[in-house]
């Protein structure tokens, strides 16, 4: 009789331990959600800060494995939600409320600037704050804008984007340019007339003295490099 009681008690303990191992933990769910968010935000230009709201998992069925996901249409910036689903033995999904901020640097104009103006350092201000909701392509470093030309006019205090800038012109139409062809252990050069303006790194056509037209890449020194 004593042995039977012992066996029953042992069985009940094992059942209790198994249930405990499958019990939901708000800490585990929150950690699963946060790790997913940080993985998705890798490469963001700034420091990521994530604050998760408290969870009540007391009414959820037991679960031994979780998987986090980004809900359809959601953006992991600002006030948002992160989905966590149970992979077994139960099947359920819980939405974790989160506040996500990305703090970094961004560049704004110090005063109104006109289209076609070549930007100087004094035209810009380096600011710091939440960059998570800033427009795509915002400039993070003043040096990334100085010397470039504005495509359109901007008001003072406006956030600067890369698509609002063009690289400085290094070649002007009609200019006499040196044309270079560089290979392994040799370099050949000649002169021609540029047929269009070109910024650094742009392709430009050059009419040679022979009348032939070639296409090459504009270099910082105003020369044109053609592939060998």
- With a pLDDT cut of 70, the percent of the chain lying above it is 89
Confidence at residue 10, expressed as pLDDT on a 0 to 100 scale:
42
- What's the rounded Cα separation, in Å, for the pair 141 and 147? 13
Element (H, E) at 119: none
- Is 131 or 124 the better-scoring residue by pLDDT? 124
Q: Which sequence spans correspond to the domains of the chain?
A: 21-102, 103-166, 169-226
Residue 188 scores a pLDDT above 90: no
Model confidence at 146, in pLDDT bands (50, 70, 90)?
very high
d(CA 216, CA 4): 91
Kindly state the average pLDDT of the residues 98-116. Answer: 94
Structure tokens at 126: 């380096």
Tell me the three-class secondary structure of 55-77, residue by residue.
CCCCCCCCEEEEEEECCCCCCCC
21-38 average pLDDT score: 85
pLDDT at residue 170 greater than cutoff 60: yes
Instruction: Please check whether the domain covering 169-226 is classified as CATH 2.30.30.760.
Output: yes
Contacts of 18 (CB under 8 A, 6+ apart): none
For residue range 55-89, what is the model confidence (pLDDT) as tens digits? 998 889 989 999 999 999 888 988 999 999 999 88
pLDDT for residue 46: 83
Most confident of 76-80, 156-160, 197-201: 156-160
- Residue 134: pLDDT band (50, 70, 90) is confident
Decide if 103-166 and 169-226 have a common fold: no
CATH, range 103-166: 3.90.1210.10
Q: Residue 128 in 3-state DSSP?
A: strand
Best CA proximity match to 171, nearest among 204, 210, 129: 204
Nearest to 201 by CA among 220, 183, 221, 215: 220
State mean pLDDT over 91-104: 94
The DSSP code for 225 is: E
Q: Tell how strand 176-183 and strand 224-226 pair up.
A: parallel
């Amino acid at each position: 009789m004593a042995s039977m009681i012992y066996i029953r008690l042992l069985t009940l303990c094992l059942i209790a331990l198994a249930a405990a191992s499958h019990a939901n933990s708000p800490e585990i769910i929150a950690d699963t959600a946060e790790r997913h968010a940080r993985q998705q935000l890798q490469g963001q230009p700034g420091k990521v800060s994530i604050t998760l709201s408290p969870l009540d998992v007391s009414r959820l069925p037991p679960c031994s494995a979780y998987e986090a996901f980004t809900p359809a249409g959601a953006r992991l910036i600002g006030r948002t939600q992160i989905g966590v689903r149970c992979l077994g033995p139960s099947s359920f999904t819980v939405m974790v409320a989160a506040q996500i901020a990305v703090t970094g640097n961004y560049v704004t104009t110090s005063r109104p600037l006109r289209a076609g103006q070549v930007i100087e350092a004094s035209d810009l201000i380096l600011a710091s704050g939440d960059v998570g909701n800033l427009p795509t392509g915002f400039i993070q470093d003043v040096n990334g804008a100085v010397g470039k030309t504005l495509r359109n006019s901007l008001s003072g205090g406006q956030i600067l984007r890369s698509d609002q800038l063009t690289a400085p012109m290094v070649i002007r139409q009609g200019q006499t340019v040196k044309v270079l062809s560089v290979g392994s252990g040799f370099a050949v050069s000649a002169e021609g007339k540029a047929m269009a303006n070109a910024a650094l790194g742009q392709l430009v056509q050059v009419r040679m003295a022979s009348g032939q037209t070639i296409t090459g890449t504009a270099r910082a020194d105003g020369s044109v490099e053609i592939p060998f």
